[in-house]
């Protein structure tokens, strides 16, 4: 059953953490008050009625071990606990193709993957000869996406586009050339899933970029664009901030620490 009114529920699903990250690693130029500033890893679920749309796909335990991350739960298993069959998901929006956003393709066998033209060109083009730009990509994930192109399971987009009434994606760039944010109409207004257009609330709030960036100018302009797209700063959801889990309610007790509901006002 398709969405009928263009108003959606939105959930952040936490699947991994990097507890050893420090503040100096999260801002260009470091941080004068350096201290622990962990990273959380999320995928996001958008749902209305029986329709479920996934934003990003995460990575698995083997990748977590390889990259020194702590894996908490397979995103597909958490979806199942929420009553969503991963094998039945028909649309996956990939904000970009970094390893922590675009692994696990095989868990969604019916899905069409939505990618910006410029992201695919970036991830397979001359930028990848540079180790600093290549490091967050996994060649196997990118190659898997190429195979899905040949299987007619990838939809390409150029700039802003609408997936369904109330769900519009916008190319932001900056962090990668084709990074896209997802604007969702909810009962509390327009919520924007920023993904890595702002890793933390503090990146956007202070105008200081995360160090891993392709185009700094686009990244900084992106902070303004996120504000334009959202109905207030508290409607922008950063891509890796543990504060998301603290600021938003859990949808049910058994999902505590794993899922936060974003289409309702923040706690407190």
In a domain, 215, yes or no: yes
- Tell me how far CA of residue 222 lies from CA of 20, 171, 172, in angstroms: 27, 9, 6
Q: What is the pTM (predicted TM-score) of this model?
A: 0.96
Torsion angles phi and psi, residue 152, rounded to 5: 60, 40
Mean pLDDT confidence for 155-167: 99
Task: Say if residue 3's pLDDT is above 90.
Answer: no
pLDDT, tens only, 117-132: 999 999 999 999 999 9
Coil, strand, or helix at residue 236? strand
Residue 157 has pLDDT above 50, yes or no: yes
Pick the residue with more confidence: 5 or 18?
A: 18
CATH at 91: 3.60.15.10
Percent of the chain with pLDDT over 90: 95
- Contact, 115 vs 91, CB < 8 A? no
Asked if the structure places residue 220 within a domain, the reply is yes
The answer to the question of residue 201 being in a domain is: yes
Mean pLDDT calculated for residue range 64-86: 98
Q: According to the model, what pLDDT value does residue 5 have? A: 79
Residue range of the domain that includes 80 = 9-261
Query: Has residue 223 been placed in a domain?
Result: yes
Mean pLDDT of the chain, nearest integer:
97
Q: Would residue 78 count as lying in a domain?
A: yes
Annotate 51-93 with DSSP letters as a single string: EEEEE-----HHHHHHHT-EE---HHHHHHHTT--GGG--EEE
- The predicted pLDDT at position 33 comes to 79
In this predicted structure, what is the pLDDT of residue 141? 98
Residue 268 counted as domain residue:
no
Which pLDDT score, from 0 to 100, does residue 1 have?
A: 36
Element (H, E) at 149: helix 139-150
Q: Is 196 in contact with 95 (CB distance < 8 Å)?
A: yes
In a domain, 244, yes or no: yes
In a domain? residue 169: yes
**For the chain, what percent of residues have pLDDT higher than 70?**
98
At residue 257, the pLDDT reads 97
Q: Structurally, how many domains does the chain consist of?
A: 1
Give tens-digit pLDDT for 224-256: 999 999 999 999 999 999 999 999 999 999 999
């Amino acid at each position: 059953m398709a969405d009928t009114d263009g108003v959606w529920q939105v959930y952040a699903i936490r699947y991994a953490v990097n507890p050893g990250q420090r503040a100096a690693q999260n801002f260009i130029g470091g941080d004068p008050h350096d201290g622990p500033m962990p990273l959380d890893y999320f995928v996001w679920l958008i749902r209305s009625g029986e329709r479920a749309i996934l934003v990003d796909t995460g990575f698995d335990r083997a990748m977590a071990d390889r990259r020194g991350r702590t894996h908490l739960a397979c995103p597909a298993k958490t979806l199942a606990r929420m009553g969503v069959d991963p094998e039945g998901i028909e649309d996956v929006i990939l904000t970009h193709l970094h390893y922590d956003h675009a692994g696990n393709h095989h868990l969604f066998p019916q899905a069409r993957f939505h990618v910006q033209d410029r992201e695919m060109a970036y991830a397979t083009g001359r930028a990848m000869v540079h180790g600093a730009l290549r490091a967050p990509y996994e060649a196997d994930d990118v190659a898997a996406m190429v195979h899905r192109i040949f299987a007619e399971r990838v939809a390409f987009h150029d700039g802003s586009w609408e997936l369904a009434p109330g769900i519009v994606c916008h190319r932001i760039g900056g962090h990668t050339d084709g990074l896209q944010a997802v604007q969702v109409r909810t009962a509390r207004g327009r919520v924007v899933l920023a993904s890595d257009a702002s890793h933390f609330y503090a990146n956007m709030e202070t105008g200081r970029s995360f160090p891993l960036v392709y185009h700094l100018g686009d990244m900084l302009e992106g902070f303004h664009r996120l504000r334009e797209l959202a109905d207030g700063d508290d409607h922008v959801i950063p891509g890796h901030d543990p504060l998301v889990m603290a600021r938003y309610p859990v949808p049910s007790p058994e999902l505590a620490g794993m899922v936060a509901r974003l289409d309702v006002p923040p706690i407190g």
